[in-house]
A and B are shown apart, each in its own frame.
Chain A
């Protein structure tokens, strides 16, 4: 029984990371139909910028950062990476918005490689250890453990996702995003500044990925320049699983993928984890090609 509870907790933590990154994929796809393969690398960039800022705050890990320090670093990193995300959109994607889809897809792969190798050049190829030790205490019920850190990660993820959902559903910019997802030309004719809204979408997506990156760095303790690759693929999978272009779908997809993976490890062993997860993905997509929450109509987000 406690193994089951523990697996559930483990799955939720992994799932929270997948969800946060999947949101960025799904938002960008929803609004400009681009699979932004550089998205996982924004997560990596967030982890590294957070690392540099934390090193600055703590004097290379000698002092303690404190809760306020971590919060400031988290917000600052999200802002910086959000702006970088906007810059990428402005330089690499906007000129190609009217080009064939394939060109912009290749550009995204190019941006991904630039971010990976640029980070390697700046921070080095070796594993960096986060200058931060999070408390490992928490609650324990009947053998299953839930640390404060895990609770914080899940809570912050839920807050960010809920905030995003409110923003997209109820703000005027959210309305504009949904309108552009529906019909870009018509939105433009209605006086919506399409480019500005797209830039905002990139800002939000990149900031969420950066938030996940800082939290992953602090939680797991090590970062390196390739850390965004695998998790980017997994988050993309989560977005498709939930129904790409659909925000609640990305959250559900991320959590589900995390749970399937941990359950797969428990039942069949680590080597079968991905086989199980992706078999289930295929089954779900065969039964419902639009994903769990994906809609048949063209309306997204």
Chain B
């Protein structure tokens, strides 16, 4: 008898896994019906975002920004005389989930897709949309592998890694910092950025005096600090994330490592200041795409966003808001929801004024002019560095 109960227990566990597994993939944000994509009714725009998992916070921020843009557009009478509607698919920042999420959007025959947070998930999803000839505007993911695929359906409105390291290098050179120490955390993104920075710095006439890696799961970087102190760099550029970045700032300050300290956009978080301690973080630099609160002319956006969602806009809110407005603009110019026409209109975008950036696409369908800026911690807060 006992064995039977055990078997039933195992079976029901298995069943639960299967059911929840399926549920996870297709958990509903409104059911997709038939008849969409025709020339009447709502224009359905797909959004592929991480709504579950570790990056759900940023996914939610991006969804809010889309929601806000669509509400504004609809209040102004919609696009082409039709209302817009968002259909969300959860990519969970996972390549497999992203593929099935993309297939779901394709089967709903969406007019275009906006979103894409994790590069790893966006890569396979962009392939699915390419096959279905559906234009996709990527508003956060920025691996240089995305444009390298050469898809004519894929448009990126966030700056890429080389843009960021170029901006950082310009800042170093302008502040007469020629001898740079580079530190990455062995993640693909951080290493890619460190390599890119190395190339840029050497091209600009500077020299890389140390190229180091840390393990972001450890907390003690004192050995690295001691080593760098001995080399006395003009500046240290860390390309990893805020948790290690904050500790590094603190320990570098304790040890008295000389020179500027700059961190990449992975460290652009209030938590960086909290972890380092405000007095240690003072003067630390960040190379990043500025969030809405640092963008001139975005005050209205920030105010409305706070009012509507009761929280400050996240790192990619403004960009995602821009992406939706860019799509609406392209739809108007194309005067059609036909995939081919929308794609062509997006490609022809010229000097589209958006929050914090002016969008014109280059040959690779990435920004002609990047939106990166250098921020500085002053009085415990990020401000735009001059």
Contact = CB atoms under 8 A, between A and B. Distances in A.
Interface of A: 3, 6-7, 10-11, 13-14, 125-127, 129, 133, 136, 145, 147, 216, 220-222, 224, 226-227, 229-231, 261-262, 265-266, 269-271, 273-274
Contacts of A13: 220, 222
Interface in B208-237: 210-215, 217-220, 222-224, 226-227, 229-230
11 contacts: A3-B226, A6-B229, A7-B226, A14-B222, A129-B271, A220-B219, A222-B246, A227-B217, A230-B218, A269-B210, A269-B227
Interface of B: 54, 183, 186, 210-215, 217-220, 222-224, 226-227, 229-230, 243, 246-247, 250, 254-256, 271, 274-275, 277
B222 A221 contact: no
Given A6-B255, A261-B223, A265-B227, 5 more contacts: A13-B220, A222-B243, A230-B217, A262-B222, A273-B215
B266 to A, nearest CB: 14
Contacts of A3: 226-227, 229-230
Contact of A226 (B214, B217, B246): B217
A254 to B, nearest CB: 13
Given A221-B247, A224-B243, A270 B214 contact: yes
Contacts of B247: 220-222
Contacts of A6: 226, 229, 255
Contacts of A226: 217
Given A221-B277, A271-B212, A271-B213, A145 B220 contact: no
A133 B279 CA distance: 11
B227 A266 contact: yes
Contacts of B211: 269
A125 B57 CA distance: 12
B268 to A, nearest CB: 15
A221 B274 CA distance: 9
B275 A221 contact: yes
Of A6, A7, A229, the most chain B CB neighbours within 10 A belong to: A6
A266 B223 contact: yes
A224 B241 CA distance: 15
Contact of A265 (B223, B243, B246): B223
A245 B223 CA distance: 30
Contacts of A10: 220, 222-223, 226
B220 A220 contact: yes
Contact of A230 (B215, B250, B255): B215
B54 A125 contact: yes
Contact of B224 (A216, A221, A265): A265
Contacts of A274: 215
A126 B58 CA distance: 14
Contacts of A224: 243
A127 B243 contact: yes
B181 to A, nearest CB: 11
Contact of B275 (A11, A129, A229): A129
A14 B256 CA distance: 19
A3 B222 CA distance: 11
B97 to A, nearest CB: 19
Nearest to A216: B219
A7 B218 CA distance: 17
B315 to A, nearest CB: 15
Nearest to A230: B217
A212 B282 CA distance: 30
A231 B219 CA distance: 10
A29 B271 CA distance: 39
B279 to A, nearest CB: 9
A145 B183 contact: no
Contact of B250 (A7, A216, A221): A221
Nearest to B254: A136
A269 B213 contact: yes
Question: Which 6 residue pairs spanning A and B have beta carbons closest together?
Answer: A271-B213, A265-B223, A262-B223, A220-B219, A10-B222, A270-B212
A274 B218 CA distance: 12
Given A147-B254, A271-B213, A127 B271 contact: yes
